[in-house]
Chain A
Amino acid sequence: MSADSLTRVAPDATSRVVLEARNVVKTYGHVTALDGVDFELRAGEILAVVGDNGAGKSTLIKALTGAVHPTSGEILLDGAPVHFKGPLDARHAGIETVYQDLAMAPALDIASNLFLGRELRCQGVLGSVFRRLDKKRMREEARRAMSELKFRLPSIGNAVEALSGGQRQGVAVARAALFARKLVIMDEPTAALGVRETGQVLELIRSIRERGLPVVLISHNMPNVFEIADRIHVMRLGRRAAVVTPQSHSMNDVVAIMTGAAAA
């Protein structure tokens, strides 16, 4: 297998490995979803994960975020082995995931959704005894996060359901960026978006990288992947078929590796 030799040609191959999977296997009965897959996410990069349907992309991501438990194999965060019991564990460890259905409460406003499950309380007695939410501080923080990410929104007090698909996606991505300490994982963030909105979301993903957080991007959209990714992890039949870069390979090459028409 030449996957390892390929990672070495990546431009930032010397950067620190943030998240790593070693020889991870996941079987459901006699169905093998992951067949000894390796995975490496390096500091400061956008790593795209591509693969045909059933190649094991989503199972890999679920294994990395604790949503499924690997049958065997190892997952390491910053070099230390981790055993996530569930997605919450991964979140506590600093891994934020943007789910395809965005995990938003549409009737609540943008600030409420950004802080959903992590609401801020007032300082002092108001917070400790009366458990009062600090709505003002949450709005301010939300506004700051959105402007830091250079993402335009009509108003932080708008209900999420009043936003366009791209804006909603922006809120979901901003939430991940606001709370992630180690890395952000995004599942098909540009599916269902128009051209202009896709551009905005890609811009957002770049600004997360600029803030120093590595990003794992699961996508079917090859042009997007080639536009934004530093490296591309290609899944095939539950394994890592190759890791390539947009510079070293063409879209056709990657599709060929995905489908098995070409060896990596």
Chain B
Amino acid sequence: MSTATIASQQDTPSLKARILGTPSVGPLLVLVGFCVIFALTNPRFLATQNISIILQQTVIIGTLAIGQTLVILTAGIDLAVGAICVLGTIVAGKLVNLGYDPVLSMGIAVLLCTGAGLAAGSLIAGLRLPPFIVTLGILGILTAALRLISEGGAFPVRDPFLAWTGNTMKVGGFVLTYGILIMLALYGFVWYLLNQTKWGRHVYAIGNNPEAARLVGIPVRRHLLSVYLLAGFIYGVAAWLALGRIPNADPNAMQTANLDSITAVVIGGTSLFGGRGGLIGTLIGALIVGVLRNGLTLAGIDPLWQDLVTGILVIIAVALDQMSRRRS
């Protein structure tokens, strides 16, 4: 038997192997499992209205988690997720309230968020500082600066364009907000980047083995910069989605967004050590958290249990990742 035939015979893995080999299968089973449990215990859970609510509640963290996934895939971590998003809501809200054109205001806000991502990326890639420290610093700086700008308090933002992402449309009985569609479009776009382009390949390669990436000629620093830049842009879009959900710019909002987005990424099966995982898992991870919160609330269980169960899931997810890494 020649080597060529051996290669071609085993080249296309069986369907079973392919399904089991897909990293997001585990999280998907968990999601389906929770849905089944909640549906059996409460008939209201599967009502189209309730599903719409779950999706709407998932929009902001789900979107922020896209950027967080990109950063974590490069073996980094982003603690400034929430702060950059709040930067977007405050800037857009301030400008609109000062009478500027809403599209221009939102554009400037998204641009500033992208700039914040660029700043983080420059420090991480340029000065080779650890992502944890850089984004922790940016979190502190932005949080303080935003409270100073808004004089400590939240303020209402009443503008139809900024609130547009909260508008709804009906798709076959489901009430979807435009925000949900924008989130899904972002997932599709970034999924394509990660899985179908050189750029995405290199994100994985850098997270996996930065030295190898450098040796094969990938411009590692420039690539890291582009990752943080894109993440910042996504946080800016998330700010628009946030204003659509709650027309209020609050410097004290999103304090748990950092950990929530990391939770979604980790539960979705992306490794905190970089280079493994993907965006579909993150979407599932964000939905798991959303379903869990909603289902437990519907069941009338103390909200503290939600955090407890989420915490257990995070630890299980990381333990599974560690075990699979040790095996290989």
| A residues adjacent to B (C-beta < 8 A) | 87-88, 91, 99, 101-108, 112, 116-119, 121, 130-133, 139, 143, 146-147, 150-157, 159, 161-162
Closest Cβ–Cβ distance, residue B254 to chain A (whole Å): 32
Contact call B8/A105, Cβ cutoff below 8 A: no
A-B residue pairs in contact (CB < 8 Å), sample of 6? A103-B212, A106-B208, A117-B216, A119-B198, A133-B201, A155-B10
- A99 vs B215: C-alpha distance in the bound complex, in angstroms? 9
- A162 vs B327: C-alpha distance in the bound complex, in angstroms? 10
Q: What secondary structure prevails in chain B residues at the interface with A?
A: helix
Contact call B13/A157, Cβ cutoff below 8 A: yes
Contact call A153/B7, Cβ cutoff below 8 A: yes
In the complex, what residues of B have CB within 8 A of residue A154's CB? 10
In the complex, what residues of A have CB within 8 A of residue B215's CB? 87, 99, 103
Q: Given A147-B3, A147-B4, A156-B11, A105–B275 Cβ distance below 8 Å? A: yes
Contact call B209/A152, Cβ cutoff below 8 A: no
Q: A132-B196, A147-B7 are in contact. List 5 more A-B contacts (CB 8 A).
A: A106-B208, A107-B275, A147-B4, A157-B11, A162-B328
In the complex, what residues of A have CB within 8 A of residue B198's CB? 119, 121, 131, 133
B43 at the interface (CB under 8 A from A): no
- A180 vs B216: C-alpha distance in the bound complex, in angstroms? 13
Contact call A107/B3, Cβ cutoff below 8 A: no
B218 at the interface (CB under 8 A from A): yes
Interface residues on B, range: 20 to 34
Contact call B208/A117, Cβ cutoff below 8 A: no
B211 at the interface (CB under 8 A from A): yes
Our pick among A105, A121, A131 for the contact of B204 (Cβ within 8 Å) is A105
* Interface mask (B112-152 → A, CB under 8 Å = 1, otherwise 0): 00000000000000000000000000000000000000000
B197 at the interface (CB under 8 A from A): yes
- A146 vs B5: C-alpha distance in the bound complex, in angstroms? 12
Q: Given A131-B199, A133-B198, A108–B11 Cβ distance below 8 Å? A: no
- A156 vs B4: C-alpha distance in the bound complex, in angstroms? 11
Q: Given A101-B211, A106-B209, A116-B201, A143–B218 Cβ distance below 8 Å? A: no
In the complex, what residues of B have CB within 8 A of residue A104's CB? 209, 212
Nearest first, the 7 closest Cβ-Cβ pairs linking A and B are A117-B216, A105-B208, A103-B212, A103-B215, A147-B4, A105-B205, A161-B328
Contact call A152/B3, Cβ cutoff below 8 A: yes
In the complex, what residues of B have CB within 8 A of residue A132's CB? 196-197
In the complex, what residues of B have CB within 8 A of residue A117's CB? 202, 205, 213, 216-218
Q: Given A101-B211, A105-B213, A155–B275 Cβ distance below 8 Å? A: no
Contact call A155/B216, Cβ cutoff below 8 A: no
In the complex, what residues of A have CB within 8 A of residue B216's CB? 103, 116-118
Q: Which residue of B lies closest to A92 (CB)?
A: B217
In the complex, what residues of A have CB within 8 A of residue B204's CB? 105, 107-108
- A87 vs B217: C-alpha distance in the bound complex, in angstroms? 8
In the complex, what residues of A have CB within 8 A of residue B199's CB? 131
- A151 vs B3: C-alpha distance in the bound complex, in angstroms? 7
Q: Given A103-B212, A131-B199, A132-B197, A143–B205 Cβ distance below 8 Å? A: no
Closest Cβ–Cβ distance, residue A122 to chain B (whole Å): 9
Contact call B275/A102, Cβ cutoff below 8 A: no
Most B Cβ at <10 Å: residue of A99, A118, A146, A147: A147
Q: Given A105-B212, A108-B208, A156-B11, A119–B201 Cβ distance below 8 Å? A: yes
Contact call B217/A156, Cβ cutoff below 8 A: no
In the complex, what residues of A have CB within 8 A of residue B4's CB? 143, 147
Q: Given A117-B216, A117-B218, A108–B7 Cβ distance below 8 Å? A: no
B15 at the interface (CB under 8 A from A): no
- A260 vs B13: C-alpha distance in the bound complex, in angstroms? 56
In the complex, what residues of A have CB within 8 A of residue B328's CB? 106, 159, 161-162
- A152 vs B7: C-alpha distance in the bound complex, in angstroms? 8
- A104 vs B6: C-alpha distance in the bound complex, in angstroms? 24
Contact call A131/B208, Cβ cutoff below 8 A: no
Our pick among B6, B205, B217, B218 for the contact of A108 (Cβ within 8 Å) is B205
B276 at the interface (CB under 8 A from A): yes
- A118 vs B216: C-alpha distance in the bound complex, in angstroms? 8
* Interface mask (B50-81 → A, CB under 8 Å = 1, otherwise 0): 00000000000000000000000000000000
- A164 vs B10: C-alpha distance in the bound complex, in angstroms? 17
Closest Cβ–Cβ distance, residue B272 to chain A (whole Å): 14
B2 at the interface (CB under 8 A from A): yes
Closest Cβ–Cβ distance, residue A4 to chain B (whole Å): 34
